[in-house]
Structures are given as C-alpha cells and as structure tokens.
Structure 1
Amino acid sequence: MQYHVNGELVDREEATVSVDDRGFRYGDAAFETCRVYGGTVFAWDRHFDRLETTCETLGMPEAIPDDIDTRIDETLTANDLEDAYLRVSISRGVQPGKLTPDEDVDPTVVVYVKPLPRGGTEGERVWDDPAVVQSVTRRRPPESVLPADAKTHNYLNGILARLELRRASREGYQPDEALMRDTDGNLAEGATSNVFFVDDGILRTPAEDSLLPGITRETVIELAEEEGFTVDSGRYTVDDLRQADEAFLTNSTWEIRPIATADGIDIGDGPMTKLLQRLYDRRIEARCY
C-alpha cells in the first residue's frame, strides 16, 4: 500500500508523521472518512464542506490544500483501487510543544486508503450481521463543551465508550457498537455511527445538536423524505429505541446496518429499513458506477 503524506506518495512503512505534530500531541487535527465506489468518492462535496468547517473551528481555515482532489486520485490510482475506504486527515502540523497553537500553520496532510467490496445494487455489505448495540454510561459531551459538528482526531469519548463494550462482552455476547446518550440522558448516537428507528411508521433520529451529523445520515433522511416518509428529529430515550418496530445505524463504511438487539432486547430490521437500503444502493449505483 501507498499513502499520500504531505504531497508525496510513500510506501506504508515510510508513511509517518513527526512526534512534534500537533495531531499526535493533542489530537489537533481534522479528518473525514469516506467510501469510494467505482473510483468516485461518494458525497465528497459534503465531506469536503464538513472538513472545511472543522478546520475553521480549529482556527486553521486555509489548511486544506488546493490539490486535495488530485492527492486522493493519485492515492487511489497508486493502489489500483476502485472501491475503497478513504480517510483524509489534516493536522495543524509540527509546532513547539505548547498548548496554544502558533498562528502560522504548515499542515500535515495524509490520504489513507484500504480496499473495500463493491457497493451499489451489485455489491456486498462490509458487515456480516445486523448490529448488536449496548448502551454505555459514557455520555456524549454537549455543544457547550465540544462542537458537535467538528470531526477531529480527538476521539477519546468514543474510545472510552467502546472500552465499555469490551467489559460488557462475554461468551455469546459481543456488542458491535456503543449506544451513547447526551448529558440529559437522551439518546444521541453510536461511538462511530448515527441511530435511526421506526415507530408507528415514522422514521425517528436524535436531534443534531447532540451528535455529529453524519453524511450517510443526511443521505438517508433525504431518501426517506423523497419516498414520502415522515422523518422526525427530536429527543428520545434509549427505551424508545428498545421498543421500536425496527432500527438501524448509519455511517459511511457500514452504510445502513440494521440493529438486531439493543441492550439484549430484540429489534431487527423491517420494511422501511430494507427499502432505504435498496434506495441507498440505487443512489450509489446511479452516481458512481
């Protein structure tokens, strides 16, 4: 494998960053995870906008290089990949070891890829089974603590949530995702996913100010509304999810993954989940293949 590091393609073994890089020191960096289908980065315009927003939040609005699209294309070509996982990371770069960043920014820019199966109507899922989710005690920080729409390298909150899953695991029970609440106890999101559930024919998902609004989440909402489904974004409890008629998780890698159980309570997929999966696959097929 070859990755793009600071404007150059390098072998995986040589793809390193400095120990003085602020992304390593403090998690002072922005990133986006995308799916590439048939050589096309799906919804790249939306991912780019969110990457730009995160860089602005971090006070480095000019950090994204003008040739980022070229670097992505070169990385995919160098690895002969048409269908892939893509991660673009932009840190503030190497600076003196102090918390307050310098105003001048020389960013570290990394493009990372790995192969994934074909998507779309002729593709296959990257997951084997519907997800087993487990609620955790770790809470999602409020907007007043950390901006909900900033996708940074500092993923400590999600890591601690996933560590709780490890402690909850036992023979025959291996949760796939941590279900997180906000500080008021409302349902928020998974550690690396957004949550949807269906109740009396209404598609429901937690409100945006309590979660990182995912690109796949946005696409699913669009597809549901185009189909004439009522979509409600609001405040819900974990019990609302447990009692749902059907439920699923979304992120760029999983796409739409049904929830088999939540805290050991059976939920499963259903007609709306299956239809949205088909509609999502058709959109991928139409726009990327």
Structure 2
Amino acid sequence: MKISYYNGQFKNDDEVTVDYNDRAFYFGDGVYEVIRIYDGEFFTVNEHVDRMMRSASEIQIEGVTRREIMDIVTELKDRNDIDNGALYIQLSRGIEKRGHAYPIGIDPVILAYVNSSDRPLELADTGVFAITSEDYRWLKCHVKSLNLLPNVMEKERAVRLGAHETIMHRDGIVTEGSSTNVFLVKDGVMQTHPADNLILNGITRLEILKLADELGIDYKEAPFSVEELKAADEAMITSTTQEITPVVKVDDSVIANGTRGEITTRLQEAFNKKIHKLNLVK
C-alpha cells in the first residue's frame, strides 16, 4: 500500500481525502514540483525544492519553509518502497470558501504522493514526433503553477495527431513544449530559449547546460524560430520524466534524417553516467 501526504498527515492512499474548499481545486491557486527517483534515491531534489520556494514566493504563498518541504518529501520517499519513479508535491494557498481575493489567516496546504515509472529508454533511442502551436499561455510561465489547462489542451492535440509533444511558439519564436524544454543543434552549437518569464527553467534543462560545459559543447541561450528548429541538425526535448528525448520530426519536417544526433547522444551518455554515479553513493 502506498503512503501519501495531505494537509499535515501521512496516510494510506485509499484513506486520503482532499478538502473541496482547497484553493487548488477552485482556482489552481498553488504550485507544484515533480522530483525524479532513481534506484530509490532522489535526483536534483534540492534544485526542485528551491524552485518550488521561488514559485510560491512569486504568487505570494507564505507560511511554509524549505526545511518543511524537504522533510515531507524525504519522509514520504522513505515510507514508500519505490525503486524508479517520481514524487509529486503540490502547495496550495490553503482551505477557504470560494472567493477570488487571497483569504486572510489561512495556512498553506501540501499534497504529495509517489508513483513508479520506468525511464523513457526506448524514446531516447528512437526519438519522437512533435507538432507546433501558437503559445497562448499567461506571461508568468517561469512559475510552476497548477494552471496547466493550455498545456493539457496542447498535449491532447498532439496525441490526437499521433505526436508525442506540442512545441509552442510566440509569433514564430519557439518557447517550450507543453511539458518540456526545447533544444536545437545547428553547426555544432546547441541552442535553447533564455530562462525568462516565457518558459519554465527546467531542472533537466539546467542539468543539460552543466553537462554541455563539462563536455565542451558550445551552446547559447537565445531565441530561435520554428523555421530554424525545422532546419536544425538535431533537436531534443527535456524534462524530469522525459530526460533527454530526441525530436526527429517537427510537423512535416524530418530532423537529422529521422535519427538521434551525435550531440544528443553524447548528452544522454553523460546524463546516464551522472545518474549511475549518484546512485553508487548512498
């Protein structure tokens, strides 16, 4: 039986009930993180918790400390027998009858649970097909908020068209995927959108840039167009759960002859080594 956490209590999954006056339910008034677990150990947990605290601050949720978040996720992982998977943690403004303005005097509410999931190793080899769409989300995409309806709609559109992901753009400039960051490689130089308010600064995105430094791969954080993406030598999407996944087709354009590129492969190999090294030291 899995153990989850809600509003101060660890309980069996089938015993957890969520208050319908939780503002996460009414307004999506909260933030969240997904933390990867490899071989029973967290990967980049500090980075995820730090980002959650920044997101909470951006939307003025107060009353929860970094230490409290870290204690909850650590205990929850330890209470569950999970080898490979992810821990989801959500922080809402609190419980109060419906009203748009921030309620006064309520405490934030934390929800957390774990799920087992395999690594996306097959897609890492074969690559995926992506479609494109205008980015019609709000202008605070750097906040990892619970308001994901546009992302959900675009992921669903991708699935209906037989694609894996929708890559979004504003006036032709690529921002990010519905649940991923986007990279291209052209003439040996890797490129990704700057970490501003138009994208979520993904933890895996940051890991890729660190690996590029270690491997001597040239890169730049600069905007690029949909046309440049389609003309790239390589393309990839990254996220906590999708790791480094090659993109071999965008709309009707085939990338890298439909195969995984050299720089993508080097980054995947370095990423794998980092995971294995992490899990050898317990």
1:152 aligns with 2:145: yes
Summarize the Cα distance change of 1:133–1:239 in structure 2 as closer, same or farther, 3 Å threshold. Answer: same
Instruction: Indicate which of 249, 256, 260 corresponds to 2:237.
Output: 249
Note the C-alpha offset of 1:228.
1.3
Q: Which residue in the other structure is 2:121 paired with?
A: 125
Q: Which residue in the other structure is 2:10 paired with?
A: 9
Once the two structures are superposed, what CA deviation does each residue of 1:137-191 show, in whole Å capped at 9, x if it has no partner?
3x154xxx53232101110221222233255x2xxxx101011012x32011000
Q: Distance in 2 between matches of 1:165 and 1:79?
A: 33
User: Where in structure 1 do 4 or more consecutive aligned residues deviate above 4 Å?
Assistant: 126-129
Q: Distance in 2 between matches of 1:233 and 1:253?
A: 22
Instruction: Report the 3-state secondary structure (helix = DSSP H, G, I; strand = E; otherwise coil) of the residue aligned with 2:121.
Output: coil
Summarize the Cα distance change of 1:279–1:285 in structure 2 as closer, same or farther, 3 Å threshold. Answer: same
Summarize the Cα distance change of 1:126–1:216 in structure 2 as closer, same or farther, 3 Å threshold. Answer: farther
Q: Distance in 1 between matches of 2:21 and 2:96?
A: 6
Q: Distance in 2 between matches of 1:42 and 1:154?
A: 25
Note the C-alpha offset of 1:39.
2.7
Note the C-alpha offset of 1:44.
1.2
Q: Which residue in the other structure is 1:287 paired with?
A: 278
Residues paired across the two proteins, number:
274
Instruction: Indicate which of 215, 227, 232 corresponds to 1:227.
Output: 215
**CA RMSD, Structure 1 to Structure 2 (Å):** 1.9
Summarize the Cα distance change of 1:126–1:29 in structure 2 as closer, same or farther, 3 Å threshold. Answer: farther
Q: Distance in 2 between matches of 1:127 and 1:272?
A: 16
Contact 1:63 1:92 in 2 (8 A): no
TM-score, normalised to structure 1, is: 0.88
Q: Distance in 2 between matches of 1:140 and 1:89?
A: 24
Contact 2:38 2:83 in 1 (8 A): yes
Q: Give the residue type in structure 1 aligned to 2:111.
A: V
Note the C-alpha offset of 1:92.
0.9
1:201 aligns with 2:192: no
Q: Distance in 1 between matches of 2:105 and 2:279?
A: 38
Q: Which residue in the other structure is 2:202 paired with?
A: 214
Once the two structures are superposed, what CA deviation does each residue of 1:3-44 show, in whole Å capped at 9, x if it has no partner?
111232222223231111100100001100110123322111
Q: Between the two proteins, what is the percent identity of the paired residues?
A: 28
Q: Give the residue type in structure 1 aligned to 2:121.
A: R
Contact 2:187 2:233 in 1 (8 A): yes
Q: Give the residue type in structure 2 aligned to 1:11.
A: N
TM-score, normalised to structure 2, is: 0.90
Q: Which residue in the other structure is 1:175 paired with?
A: 163
Once the two structures are superposed, what CA deviation does each residue of 1:24-66 show, in whole Å capped at 9, x if it has no partner?
1000011001101233221111111110011101111333474
Instruction: Report the 3-state secondary structure (helix = DSSP H, G, I; strand = E; otherwise coil) of the residue aligned with 1:208.
Output: coil
Contact 2:53 2:66 in 1 (8 A): no
Instruction: Indicate which of 194, 202, 225 corresponds to 1:237.
Output: 225
Structure with higher helix content: 2
Q: Which residue in the other structure is 1:36 paired with?
A: 37
Q: Give the residue type in structure 1 aligned to 2:209.
A: I
1:134 aligns with 2:122: no
Structure 2 unaligned regions, length at least 5: none
Q: Distance in 2 between matches of 1:259 and 1:51?
A: 28
